[in-house]
Amino acid sequence: MSRPNVLILCTGNSCRSHMAEGILRAAAGDLLEVHSAGSDPAGYVHPKAVAALDEIGIDLSAHESKHMDRFLDRDIETVITVCGNADQACPAFPGQVNRYHWGFDDPAHADGDEAEVMAVFRRVRDQIKLVFEAYAAGYREGKAC
């Protein structure tokens, strides 16, 4: 039995969507096939997003920035947008049953010195972790019924 596909979108696919992908995969990768993409991909995964997830034991080092069109021919059951621009630009995907929008601040736009910027990445990571682990728990509970 194949796992349902979940696609997490943001504009640049460099920070928030990758953090959410890593966290959701860690929390429910046995139940869901998790992907991320962007409506206007930056072409890289932000090193501070990689570092922030590494701190909690999730490896994003092999992730790459992808355009959402790469997934138009896949059976995507759930689309989750994590920024307003992606929510507005998001097309309907074949087979899509669910669509959620959970917006988070973009840590790539954080100002300050190295420590202050990294603190913003950690804050956004922790917010994403809270939301996506709750989603995974709810999904897991629904499958147990």
Out of 37, 45, 79, 83, the active site residue is: 83
Separation in Å, CA 81 to CA 6, 25, 75, 100, 115 = 11, 16, 17, 6, 28
The conformation of residue 143, written as its DSSP 8-state character, comes to H
Partnered with residue 101 across adjacent β-strands are: 81
Out of 9, 10, 34, 50, the active site residue is: 10
Catalytic residue status for 90: yes
- Tell me whether residue 112 is exposed, middle or buried, using C-beta atoms within 10 angstroms of its C-beta: 0 to 12, 13 to 18, 19 or more: exposed
Catalytic residue status for 10: yes
Out of 19, 23, 76, 90, the active site residue is: 90
- Output the CA torsion sign for 91, 49, 122, 138: positive
Enzyme catalytic residues:
10, 83, 90
